[in-house]
Chain A
Amino acid sequence: MSWRLRIEHVTRVRYAGPVLDSFNEARMTPLTLPSQTTLESCVTVGPGTVPVWSYDDYWGTHVSVFELPQAHEDLVIRATATVETRPYPGLPPAAQRPGWAAITERAEGGRLLEMTLPTPLTAMTAQASGPVVAEVAGRTPDDTATAISALVRERISYLPGATGTRTSAQQAWDNRQGVCQDMAQVTIGLLRAARLPARYVSGYLHPRAAPKAGRTAIGQGHAWVEYWAGSWTPLDPTSGARVEQRHVVVARGRDYADVPPLKGTYHGPPPSATDVTIEVTRLR
């Protein structure tokens, strides 16, 4: 059964003093994919009425562009969307999945290659990845991915505030702490070390597995992973749960740096407070 979800993502930034010449890009609009359909979406920016312009980037992400040239002390970005999400069809029978040799051949020869190369945020040393790859050796590609995801969940404890948006997979691995972004990037680093193409997914998560319609819950910005073994297959290393109707995809890339929900540049003092609330309501 498909779900219809309403997402309201409000970001409030307060600066320590007046700022100006603020140029920004938000990646907050859910994609339309086989697994989900974005019925309606809107990004508005305040204070006042700030024009928002948009384009689709290299990764297919819908980008909202806006600027606040005049002096201002706060910024409000409200991204809303109504999305229909469909259940995950599950893996095809193992006999229909390609083997290691076929995956490597596809990855070497084509566009998939981009998702096999290390990036600064996902690169892991051989010292870190070697033992993991050895431990999961001998499995099918799908089982390898599941095993790596479980290992990451075992190794890294979920601890908000322990890492930042620039923390690399290697740092999170060494510190054994992190949030979904770190778990996703470590998993990607290890999947790539095990020769599976893997990509970073940024999106939203409904906190409940079986929510009642009409009730609003506090959701969260979430990150998970997709690996390629015949088709792109989702994996949520943070929860270990299946990626299904609760997950709403916004963007996909090599790592966090390709898909930041908000990035910008301005003149002025740093933010004194940043407040993000994400409300998710299952409509039906």
Chain B
Amino acid sequence: MPTDLIPRVAEAAEWRLVAAGLRQRVWALERFLADVYGAGECFADGVVPWRLTCASDKFRREVAGLAPPTGVRVHVAGIDLARGEAGELRVTGDNVRIPAGVAAVLESRPAMHLAWPAVPGDHRILPPGQYPSRLLSALRAAAPHGVADPCVVLLTPGVHNAAYPEHALLARLMGVELVEGRQLSCYRNRVYVQAARGRRQVDVVYRRVDDDWLDPLHFRPDSMLGCAGLINAARAGNVTIANAVGNGVADDKRIHGYVPDLIRYYLNEEPLLPNAPSPCPGGRTMRLFAVNDGSDVLVLPGAVRGPAGNPMDTA
């Protein structure tokens, strides 16, 4: 993913608006997902056409009724913004499956400080460095009830995945085990990791593997990247999958236009950030990351540039 080494600096007032706007968006998408995999009230009330969801291949009926322990499905969101003609920031896309790119934010800032110490100078720019610890605390907070010291693992498709360096970096910065599917096993609806330190029960799987490949019992039967039994372990409430399975119904390009309505419907608030048509004509998009720990949504300072007009890779 292309990255600007020099961050675009937002004034404090604009940043506060963006942070509040993204927080609002993430909460609305959370409520929408809970509704889609629960009662479906937004369809009955005509807010979103049922056709869009029921015909979507991202709608995973396999997880209907599967309520995550703390209700959080979007542990990490990557939201794409672009400047409109008047310079105002508009949202061009939401990524609530497995948004990639945060490593560029984390690595480019220290690199910039080394290369051009004078550029940051007297500017007081918010540092992005707290992201790994905030992500880890959000993941730990998402663990099943009653787990005092949750075991979190980062599930990667492996070294051949384009985002593998990011997986390795995040695992290292969070101090969690970086695992591939073959190191996980399920036994009686519990998930275990076979790691250097022995076999241990896993409470939270921060997965960077697509839904399709996550559990051969429920999704692609030929998958070697996931772990058979994972979905039913989550259904039994013994493990949390982050982000939740089936989130793709909320970041579908066809749902994008309805997000302002979802904000009004679920939160009874006016959207703070306007929507832009997706893909955004012309302008360069940038992706901001937000972490939801169930009580608060933290928006990470620092954006990564997205290719203009192209749907983002979410590997």
Contacts and interface: CB of A to CB of B under 8 A. Distances in A.
Contact of B217 (A69, A110, A258, A264): A264
B55 A67 contact: no
B64 A265 contact: no
B258 interface: no
Given A21-B228, A23-B229, A57-B64, A113 B54 contact: yes
A67 B64 contact: no
Contacts of B187: 67, 69
B50 A67 contact: no
Contacts of B235: 55
Contacts of A24: 217
A4 B188 CA distance: 35
Interface string A55-68: 11111000001010
A51 interface: yes
A260 B53 CA distance: 23
Interface string A31-68: 00000000000000000000101011111000001010
Nearest to A265: B216
Interface residues of A, number: 23
Contacts of B64: 57-58
B281 interface: no
B62 A58 contact: yes
Interface in B38-90: 40, 43, 50-51, 54-55, 61-62, 64-65
B217 A25 contact: yes
A192 B76 CA distance: 40
Contacts of B186: 23, 67
25 contacts: A23-B217, A23-B228, A24-B217, A25-B217, A51-B188, A53-B189, A53-B232, A53-B236, A55-B235, A57-B61, A58-B62, A58-B64, A59-B61, A65-B189, A67-B186, A67-B229, A111-B43, A111-B50, A113-B50, A113-B51, A114-B50, A114-B54, A117-B54, A263-B217, A264-B217
B185 interface: yes
A58 B232 contact: no
Contacts of B54: 113-114, 117
A110 B54 CA distance: 11
Interface in A252-284: 258, 263-265
B221 interface: yes
Interface in A118-162: none
Contacts of B65: 55-56, 58
B61 A58 contact: yes
Given A23-B228, A58-B62, 4 more contacts: A58-B61, A117-B54, A264-B217, A265-B217
A21 B216 CA distance: 12
Given A21-B228, A23-B229, A67-B186, A265 B61 contact: no
A77 to B, nearest CB: 16
Contact of B50 (A23, A69, A110, A264): A110
A21 B186 CA distance: 9
Contacts of A65: 189, 232
Contacts of A23: 186, 216-217, 228-229
B239 to A, nearest CB: 14
Contacts of A67: 186-188, 229
Contacts of B189: 53, 65
A69 B191 CA distance: 13
Interface string A64-88: 0101010000000000000000000
Interface in B220-271: 221, 228-229, 232, 235-236
Contacts of A51: 188
A265 B221 contact: yes
Determine which residue in B40, B61, B62 has the highest number of CB atoms from chain A within 10 A of its CB, and name it. Answer: B61
B230 to A, nearest CB: 10
Contacts of B43: 111
A56 B236 CA distance: 12
Contacts of B185: 21, 69
Interface string B175-204: 000000000011111000000000000000
Nearest to B54: A114
Interface string A8-42: 00000000000001011100000000000000000
B55 A117 contact: yes
A58 B228 CA distance: 20
Contacts of A258: 61
Nearest to A108: B51
Nearest to B61: A58
A53 B62 CA distance: 16
A53 B189 CA distance: 9
A227 B225 CA distance: 40
A243 to B, nearest CB: 25
A111 B187 CA distance: 36
Contacts of B55: 117
A113 B40 CA distance: 14
Contacts of B217: 23-25, 263-265
A258 B185 CA distance: 26
A55 B186 CA distance: 17
Nearest to A110: B50
Q: Which 8 A-B pairs have the closest CB atoms?
A: A58-B61, A58-B64, A23-B228, A265-B216, A23-B217, A114-B54, A23-B229, A265-B228
